[in-house]
């Protein structure tokens, strides 16, 4: 087996090559994904290998991309559409909410919508306005749509293959801050990773740190620093933020008795708030301290000179975790 070190964006590209090579029903469409290989090169060489009939450059029209992909999915194909940046996805919401999310329910199961929506998201690359959104909670609130967020090259490869296999629409959000920050050994073996499942990245006994997407990196760094203070932190990557694998989270928090949730998106009405509410409902008797959150702010992502003040760093997480552990 040929194993090579891959970045996350290379892992996404590898998964797309694998899926398209294995199943001729898989097609890709989006802005600049063909000739140019995508704005981040996630689709590089796909059109050269599979042709213009399966890797389609589209106009700058997200509603058209989503509507076309839904039509393809409803008639037997497995489209993977790319939204160039998450901040551009809003024109496609009408198609995703009104049609993609409802097709199975509307037809009482007679029709499916095996559609994957890929979108780079989040801040940290000094991008202009509308290029750094982290609005996963908006999508997670839509019944009928699954929302998946990888946090490493291996999980990007395995989760994207599972998303393409899924018979229902999956929004696959790729933290672009992680696209090229890390390499992992990766074999193009087609191994899928399970959707709707959290991944425990680090065992611990004093506090549970819950995160997803790019914030997982800072959370793991914080766990290392907490260990230097003799605080043992368990780190869980939620990975699928809708539906949430709440059972795994409850088991961890019931064991540690303390919980800190870390995410990049704004604080109010977010997935962190929902996780905190569910944990309070299900393992309240086990909690030894109030559940805390380290999040972004209820503002648009600032321009690059102030971006660092919006994003939580390991020190922010360590400070909050210590306060939870020493709560009395």
| Cβ–Cβ under 8 Å, residues 240 and 194 | no
Q: Which of 131, 141, 319, 326 is catalytic?
A: 131
> CA 163 → CA 128, 236, 264, 275, distances in Å?
29, 21, 23, 23
Coil, helix or strand at residue 305: helix
Sequence-ordered strand ranges (E) for 128-258: 146-148, 170-175, 184-187, 199-202, 207-211, 233-237, 240-242
| Cβ–Cβ under 8 Å, residues 212 and 237 | yes
Coil, helix or strand at residue 39: coil
Coil, helix or strand at residue 41: coil
Element (H, E) at 28: strand 26-30
In this structure, what DSSP letter does residue 16 have?
Answer: H
R_g (Cα) of the chain, nearest Å: 20
131 is catalytic: yes
List active site positions. 131
């Amino acid at each position: 087996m040929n194993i090579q070190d891959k970045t996350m964006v290379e892992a996404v590209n590898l998964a797309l090559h694998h899926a398209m090579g294995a199943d001729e029903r898989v097609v890709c469409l989006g802005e600049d994904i063909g000739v140019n290989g995508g704005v981040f090169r996630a689709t590089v060489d796909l059109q050269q290998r599979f042709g213009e009939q399966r890797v389609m450059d589209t106009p700058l029209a997200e509603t058209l991309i989503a509507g076309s992909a839904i039509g393809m999915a409803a008639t037997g194909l497995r489209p993977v559409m790319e939204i160039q940046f998450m901040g551009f996805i809003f024109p496609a919401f009408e198609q995703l909410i009104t049609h993609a999310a409802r097709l199975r329910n509307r037809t009482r199961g007679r029709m499916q919508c095996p559609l994957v929506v890929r979108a780079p998201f989040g801040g940290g690359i000094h991008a202009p306005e509308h290029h750094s959104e982290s609005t996963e909670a908006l999508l997670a609130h839509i019944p009928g749509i699954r929302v998946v967020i990888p946090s490493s090259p291996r999980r990007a490869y395995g989760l994207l293959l599972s998303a393409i296999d899924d018979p229902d629409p999956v929004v696959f959000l790729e933290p672009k801050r992680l696209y090229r920050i890390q390499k992992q050994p990766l074999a193009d073996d087609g191994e899928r990773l399970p959707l709707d499942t959290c991944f425990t990245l680090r065992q611990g006994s004093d506090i549970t740190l819950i995160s997803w997407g790019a914030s997982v990196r800072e959370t793991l760094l914080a766990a290392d620093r907490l260990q230097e203070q003799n605080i043992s932190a368990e780190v869980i990557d939620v990975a699928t933020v809708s539906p949430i694998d709440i059972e795994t989270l409850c088991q961890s928090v019931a064991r540690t008795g303390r919980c800190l949730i870390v995410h990049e998106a704004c604080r109010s009405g977010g997935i962190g708030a929902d996780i905190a509410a569910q944990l309070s409902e299900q393992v309240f008797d086990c909690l030894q301290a109030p559940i805390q959150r380290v999040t972004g702010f209820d503002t648009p992502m600032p321009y690059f000179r102030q971006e660092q003040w919006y994003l939580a760093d390991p020190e922010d997480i360590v400070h909050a975790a210590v306060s939870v552990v020493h709560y009395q």
